[in-house]
Structure 1
Amino acid sequence: MARRVESARGSMPLSELLERKEARAMSSFGVKDLDTMLRFAPRRYTVPAPLRSLHDVQVGEEMSAIVSVVRVKERSMRSRRGSILEVVVSDEVEEITLTFFLAKQHLVEWHRSRLVVGKHLVVRGTVGWNSYSGSPQITHPDYEEYDDTPEGIAHAQRPLPVYPLKQNIAQRTMRAATEQGLEFAGSLAQPVPRSVLSARGLLTLPEAATKVHRPATVQDTREGMAHLVFEEAFVLQAIFAQRRAVDARTPAPALQATGPLQGLFDDRLPFELTAGQLEIGDQIAERVGRDHPTSVLLQGDVGSGKTVIALRAMLRAVDSGHQAVLLAPTEVLAEQHHRTITQLLGDLARAGQLDGAADATRVRLLTGSQRTAERRQTLLDVTSGLAGIVIGTHALLTEGVEFAALGLAVIDEQHRFGVDHRRRLRTKGPSGMSPHVVVMTATPIPRTAALATVGDLDVLTLRESPGLRAGVTTHVVPEQIASWETRMWGRAAEEIAAGRQVFVVCARIDETAPGDGATPHEPPPEPLPPPPDADGGATGTLLEEPRGVLATAERLARRPELAGARIGVLHGRMPAEDKQRAMEDMLAGRIDILVATTVIEVGVDIPNASAMIVLDAERFGVSQLHQLRGRVGRGEHAGIAFLSTRLTPGDAQSRLKQIADAADGFALAEIDLEMRGAGDLVGEEQSGLQRTLKHLDVIRDARIIEQAREDAFAVVAADPDLTAHPDLAGAIENRLRDADPDVERS
């Protein structure tokens, strides 16, 4: 027997509260203490059918009835080991048989001990037909003893919790575990202050837990779950509030200078900045001018001009006597940024050179695969402060990289980086100060999702486009229709004949290699989610292995439509020199078709590229497909993108069609949120907190998120260290540990 504990705490192991069988069942779901178990909500509830007379029920109907046991009969199964237990019950009008097929004798004895002749029961189940006896029966019904009182009738009609199950775990075992746990509900840690619960009209946690696991009505289940949803939102927002409170107490360099680099750069821009770019630029300038660190998310669609905004902010840092760093997720993107920024700055980027401007700075590139001599010179320039702007990959985060006076860090494609990356950048500021941080994304996040996923950042949204690009149209190509596939490659040939270029993207590098062929420099594709009720049929199953870059390049060389086309390849396993050469050849027009992995997903800018073909498109996420199609139509020629799939028509193709028809990244963000949820929307590393969400839904619970944010920020503002709220402090530590053991509270 489990030991009764007089003063159990919520964190006490279930092994000390429950019977061994129940504790092991909960442990199989990772539930090992009382706090976790009473927050382990049922996946659904079954509401019993109204009590009826057995005379009125029909085969195939769900039914509930009050009956008495008339007789019990046991016989052996003919075709396999075990027994059939038949229990005839009656409601004094009609009789029906309850049938149990039981492989073990102890199960027979267990049911016999509960189904004694004369016992009154409430029986629930679906009426079937017993062909052996030619009469109706209920196979493996739910049943329990009946108390003939008004309270007993209400109890018989209560909703029944249905918990997730694993092999050899019975529903009654899970219910028994939570029933035992409810005895200690008063000892649960309660993160949400009672004053907040009262103001929001919510139950206390013990009350809520009882209504979740032992509801009397459907309304009880709603009221109980309301507490768990709010609590989860509240703890998450308290984490964000604490991070902001830490920022408010941390010194940062005030970047307030206005020249000369910024003015010289603006004067030589070959285009006019949009009103949106100027407005957001001013907002960032105001924020980085403060003496405590800025944390800003700059979001805008592909091609909206975020890089120019970031560069103007970096120049403000240099003008203020500090350095700026731009962190990119891949070497290809880092090299692209280095090339773009040095071209935009011209002689302003060539300090110390004969052709450099008088007020110039140095722009340096740092990646993991740089040659030793080049890396050494870059590190010297970074350490000495000669390099005002540094561009690189995760290599910038290593302990060996020391900045002379880092004032601003810009992170591109923030969904590829986590909170821990931002924390490490914070440590590289001068004299104990923290640099300002601006993170950018071309995968816009809807407002309520942003509150729940990047709530420690101020979100600035750039909605308008500079209008310098011709744009792109997107088509879904089901390869089962041969004429469509042929037309797709014919269309690519037409673009090449007109002097333009084509990207072909594959989900793998090598078709014969196991896995997806991704490398540390190249994240794997994120497949579209299956339809909500997919049953494993053709529409939701990936029937064929994805195509790889190397084999695809060979096949394209043999296609008659593409005869004579110059074909190149690009993927993450190539040496850095080969990757750079491939991009330079593409930029110079020496390649007609570049077959690549998602290494080209972000930032690659080839104005002459006008066609994008994504093979096995169902294997890529919504944001990936949008980013990929954003690689074409970036110049004067209109772009065309083909999402090619070998799946049969159905849900997967309809979701691809949704993506193809979406007008911009903001519309796609809503689709992505509905399809995948907030965690996937913001990327794997960034979304550790969201991957552990159990009850909160950022679409359904938008209002609750906003209320929880208001309350949590007020609590943290009054008590930043949560000295008066130890349960909330503990919940925060648990949530951060569950999301990522390496992430620190700050």
Structure 2
Amino acid sequence: MTTACTKLGLESRLDGVLAPAAVAALAEDFEIHTVGDLLRAYPRRYARNGVPLGDEQAEPGDHITVVATIAKADLIPMRNRKGSFLRLTLQADRQKLEATFFNPQKLRHVLKPGLRMMFSGTVKYFRGTMQLTHPSYVELRATKDGTTVHGSGQLAQMARAQQQSAGTLTEDALARDIIPIYDSTRALQSWEIWSCIRIVLDQLAPIEDPLPREIVEARGMVPLETALRAVHLPSTPADHDTARDRLRFDEALAMQLVLARQRHAEAARTAPAMPPRADGIAAAFDQRLPFTLTDGQASAGQRIAERLARPHPMNVLLQGEVGSGKTLVALRAMLQAIDSGHQCALLAPTEVLATQHYRSLRAMLGDLGDGGELGSSASATRVTLLTGSMTASQRKAALLATVTGDAGIIIGTHALIQDTVEFFDLGLVVIDEQHRFGVEQRDQLRGRGRGGNTPHTLVMTATPIPRTIAMTAFGALDVITLHGLPAGRSPITTSVLALGVSRKWLPRAWQRITEEVEQGRQAYVVCSRIGDDAAAAAKDGPETTPVLDMHEHLSTGPLAGLRVGLLHGRLPTEEKDLTMRQFAAGEIDVLVCTTVIEVGVDVPNATVMVIVDADRFGISQLHQLRGRIGRGRHAGLCILMSEVPEGSPALQRLQAVAGTTNGFELAELDLQARREGDILGVAQSGTRTSLRLLSLLDHAETITAARELAEDIISRDPALADHPGLARMITAATTTSSIDYLDKA
């Protein structure tokens, strides 16, 4: 144990300060190793221990704490059943009251007349007498370190914590109005963590505040040491609220300092300047467009074009609703890069989507995409596809076109990231559905530029992102929102088919598909899993319907007269490709599939989608899937089918999806459910989120203020050489791995 004269700093190890068992449990269960780690294990909530009883009568339902002497202890027989209960008559300083216990066998030997004790419980009245039923209690008598605390319930736990930290038991510690409650495990209960924190606080040296005094005073915040003490030992609710405000700002500032340094470093990098040309492939493409760009597409395209013209890396997140035309905006940016003599890489998460992009871009470009072929336009470029399942000869041809520069646009999956892929002069990287890629994977293509240049980066998402999330979770990315939908998009109606409530409408769902097919249209039926994997089946549970079973059921039952196709991720590439081409050509009426069609698949003739076991999908994923229909001149119908019971949160979530097609509203609902852990991509970074008090959804003002301050500080002191406290705060308030994540995000 640390001696009394030794003072602890935030960097001090807990070894020798706390009992070895506590040190081991804190490290194993919570990854807590230092004093700073422990003090930043903030309470998850606070319990009101109850105010001491005074002259006034307490109201029924009040939680009170009272120090009283046991005047009488009577065993009272039960009236309506066997047994008895213990009734204590208590004499407080100013009032009398009773405490009742219904397990008197052991307590009758512990709770004896004459003892002075502390009781804590909820007030009830019986025949005008104030009563506490089964209150927690502790005996107040002189105790030494190592003796046993006599009591039960929360008060006894607090007494043990007080005894362990201070060596003695005092009324003041137990009469505390506000009790912090911590996350606990089997090895470490909340009161034990509280005890450890009290030990550390008793030996804590004065803390140098990392924030300059003028900032603390300007924001009306308390100093860091005051906040760390008050968050664990508040005397009033205002104490812990004020403490949390300060500590929350520290979290926001630490994160924004990391991002501001990243933006500063990005600004120092060089990228190929790619100004628009009036006589190149981009201008030729625009002249051939059979439609007018939407205002949103034109605005987003102009902002991207301006950034591509600069000699510093563009880092843009292009977000827009499903079907808003993000791919068209990205293609126009790629053509601008090609006009400047550079290559473009388009990274897609699945082979289905990569192949779809390849076909879509070739179709949009027409002969402008026939570069290198006989009779092609002088300004034409070449579009190449590279996926992991290509034959050796196909892969060799694609790699050769990439390294020689013959291909201006290279579309691929994770195969593009491999070290064997060499670019001639990569100037622009486009990443579709960026959340599908790990941080390391997304970062690799940024190092493939020529002559020390960093390629420009454009990432796309159809999952709208609230501003506070975007400016935090995506670091240096400049968020551009593509507003509006192109002409020709039809409305989509969504219905919930709650099979857990009634199954009578199930035949109608399949009949609805038949009716659409009879009118020359097509449909999707989407399932949550494939079905030939026993482990996946066990994980998903027997109630989910695999795509293999659904395909067999529909093709031999309700949809037996229709052409029913099957598509899932484990089919051979050739078979997947053939199926998608047949569906796009109208040769398949109904496509029974998994989520391989979630993004990028464009079949305007598809008007109906049934999502089986829809409760197994996230809100944003349902919105993405729904976006595959209503892409033509006919209205879309999406049916969310689920077996969950009536009134369940899952069914309420589905009804929320059915109630709106506004992606931003749905994104808010989705993020509220998933919270910051998923938002920050911790599954990709391999660590738990370091945000303990800051909510990216709820604390927009704090995040904005922290961002402005961080930008100001980093612009003047990029290395934080003049702000060593802030440099330490970054390390203290965020984990190293999460900083690495943000550096690359």
Q: Under a length normalisation based on structure 1, what TM-score does the superposition of the two structures give?
A: 0.86
The offset of 1:34, in angstroms, is 1.3
- Which of 182, 186, 194 matches 1:175? 194
What is the match of residue 202 of structure 1?
221
What is the match of residue 721 of structure 2?
723
Deviations 1:607-663 (A, max 9, x none): 111111111111101110000000011112211111111111113222211111113
Summarize the alignment of residues 699-738 of structure 1 with structure 2, pairs less than 5 Å apart: 699-732=697-730, 735=734, 737-738=736-737
Matched, 1:630 2:632: no
What is the match of residue 226 of structure 1?
245
Matched, 1:484 2:518: no
The offset of 1:511, in angstroms, is 6.3
Report the Cα distance in structure 2 between the residues aligned to 1:321 and 1:102, rounded to whole angstroms. Answer: 89
Asked if structure 1 preserves the Cα contact closer than 8 Å seen for 2:475 and 2:743, the reply is: no
Report the Cα distance in structure 2 between the residues aligned to 1:690 and 1:197, rounded to whole angstroms. Answer: 29
What is the match of residue 427 of structure 1?
447
Asked if structure 1 preserves the Cα contact closer than 8 Å seen for 2:262 and 2:743, the reply is: no
The offset of 1:190, in angstroms, is 5.5
Matched residues, number: 700
Asked if structure 1 preserves the Cα contact closer than 8 Å seen for 2:475 and 2:742, the reply is: no
Summarize the alignment of residues 58-97 of structure 1 with structure 2, pairs less than 5 Å apart: 62-68=63-69, 89-91=90-92, 93-94=95-96, 96-97=98-99
What is the match of residue 53 of structure 2?
52
CA change 1:352–1:700 in 2 (3 A) is closer
CA change 1:742–1:281 in 2 (3 A) is closer
Report the Cα distance in structure 1 between the residues aligned to 2:385 and 2:654, rounded to whole angstroms. Answer: 37
Name the aligned partner's letter for residue 435 of structure 2.
H
SS in structure 1 of the partner of residue 520 of structure 2: coil
SS in structure 1 of the partner of residue 504 of structure 2: helix
What is the match of residue 588 of structure 1?
585
Structure 1 window deviating more from structure 2 (244-253 vs 64-73): it is 64-73
What is the match of residue 697 of structure 1?
695
- Which of 299, 307, 327 matches 1:279? 299
Asked if structure 1 preserves the Cα contact closer than 8 Å seen for 2:51 and 2:177, the reply is: no
What is the match of residue 525 of structure 1?
none
Unaligned ranges ≥5, structure 1: 75-83, 519-541
CA change 1:585–1:685 in 2 (3 A) is farther
The offset of 1:188, in angstroms, is 5.7
Name the aligned partner's letter for residue 377 of structure 2.
A
The offset of 1:204, in angstroms, is 1.7
Asked if structure 2 preserves the Cα contact closer than 8 Å seen for 1:733 and 1:745, the reply is: no
What is the match of residue 456 of structure 1?
476
Name the aligned partner's letter for residue 578 of structure 1.
E
- Which of 259, 268, 278 matches 1:249? 268
Report the Cα distance in structure 1 between the residues aligned to 2:56 and 2:246, rounded to whole angstroms. Answer: 43
Asked if structure 1 preserves the Cα contact closer than 8 Å seen for 2:42 and 2:232, the reply is: yes
Deviations 1:7-43 (A, max 9, x none): 5331322233223354345332332221121111111
Asked if structure 1 preserves the Cα contact closer than 8 Å seen for 2:372 and 2:406, the reply is: no
Report the Cα distance in structure 1 between the residues aligned to 2:11 and 2:113, rounded to whole angstroms. Answer: 40
Matched, 1:515 2:536: yes
- Which of 370, 373, 376 matches 2:390? 370
The offset of 1:197, in angstroms, is 2.4
- Which of 307, 310, 317 matches 1:297? 317
Matched, 1:308 2:358: no
Asked if structure 2 preserves the Cα contact closer than 8 Å seen for 1:297 and 1:457, the reply is: yes
SS in structure 2 of the partner of residue 667 of structure 1: helix
Unaligned ranges ≥5, structure 2: 76-84, 138-153, 163-169
Summarize the alignment of residues 6-405 of structure 1 with structure 2, pairs less than 5 Å apart: 6-27=6-27, 28-52=29-53, 62-68=63-69, 89-91=90-92, 93-94=95-96, 96-97=98-99, 119=116, 122-126=118-122, 137-141=133-137, 142-143=154-155, 156=175, 158-167=177-186, 169-186=188-205, 192-258=211-277, 259-405=279-425
Report the Cα distance in structure 2 between the residues aligned to 1:35 and 1:235, rounded to whole angstroms. Answer: 15
Summarize the alignment of residues 563-582 of structure 1 with structure 2, pairs less than 5 Å apart: 563-582=560-579
Deviations 1:121-156 (A, max 9, x none): 5532236899xxxx964343444799xxxx988993
Structure 1 window deviating more from structure 2 (663-672 vs 395-404): it is 663-672
Asked if structure 1 preserves the Cα contact closer than 8 Å seen for 2:439 and 2:744, the reply is: no
Asked if structure 2 preserves the Cα contact closer than 8 Å seen for 1:54 and 1:95, the reply is: no
Report the Cα distance in structure 1 between the residues aligned to 2:264 and 2:486, rounded to whole angstroms. Answer: 36
CA change 1:116–1:394 in 2 (3 A) is farther
Name the aligned partner's letter for residue 654 of structure 2.
L
Report the Cα distance in structure 1 between the residues aligned to 2:742 and 2:538, rounded to whole angstroms. Answer: 28
Asked if structure 1 preserves the Cα contact closer than 8 Å seen for 2:685 and 2:737, the reply is: no
Name the aligned partner's letter for residue 631 of structure 2.
R
CA change 1:101–1:229 in 2 (3 A) is farther
What is the match of residue 597 of structure 1?
594
The offset of 1:321, in angstroms, is 0.8
Asked if structure 1 preserves the Cα contact closer than 8 Å seen for 2:680 and 2:689, the reply is: no
What is the match of residue 667 of structure 1?
665
CA change 1:571–1:739 in 2 (3 A) is farther
CA change 1:40–1:237 in 2 (3 A) is same
CA change 1:460–1:60 in 2 (3 A) is closer
CA change 1:204–1:60 in 2 (3 A) is closer
SS in structure 2 of the partner of residue 515 of structure 1: helix
Name the aligned partner's letter for residue 481 of structure 1.
S
The offset of 1:260, in angstroms, is 0.8
Matched, 1:640 2:637: yes
Report the Cα distance in structure 2 between the residues aligned to 1:497 and 1:184, rounded to whole angstroms. Answer: 80
Report the Cα distance in structure 2 between the residues aligned to 1:71 and 1:179, rounded to whole angstroms. Answer: 36
SS in structure 2 of the partner of residue 175 of structure 1: helix
Asked if structure 2 preserves the Cα contact closer than 8 Å seen for 1:557 and 1:567, the reply is: yes
Asked if structure 1 preserves the Cα contact closer than 8 Å seen for 2:67 and 2:119, the reply is: yes
The offset of 1:276, in angstroms, is 1.7
Deviations 1:541-589 (A, max 9, x none): x9853211111101112323x1211111111111211111111111111
Structure 1 window deviating more from structure 2 (585-594 vs 161-170): it is 161-170
SS in structure 2 of the partner of residue 675 of structure 1: helix
Deviations 1:278-313 (A, max 9, x none): 111111011111111111111110111111111000
The offset of 1:54, in angstroms, is 10
Report the Cα distance in structure 2 between the residues aligned to 1:36 and 1:717, rounded to whole angstroms. Answer: 30
CA change 1:125–1:264 in 2 (3 A) is same
Report the Cα distance in structure 1 between the residues aligned to 2:743 and 2:475, rounded to whole angstroms. Answer: 16
- Which of 645, 651, 655 matches 1:657? 655
SS in structure 1 of the partner of residue 535 of structure 2: coil
Q: Under a length normalisation based on structure 2, what TM-score does the superposition of the two structures give?
A: 0.86
What is the match of residue 531 of structure 1?
none
CA change 1:193–1:384 in 2 (3 A) is farther
The offset of 1:727, in angstroms, is 4.5
Report the Cα distance in structure 2 between the residues aligned to 1:375 and 1:43, rounded to whole angstroms. Answer: 54
Asked if structure 2 preserves the Cα contact closer than 8 Å seen for 1:89 and 1:98, the reply is: no
CA change 1:253–1:169 in 2 (3 A) is same
SS in structure 2 of the partner of residue 347 of structure 1: helix
What is the match of residue 499 of structure 1?
520
Matched, 1:739 2:738: yes
What is the match of residue 148 of structure 2?
none
Matched, 1:621 2:640: no
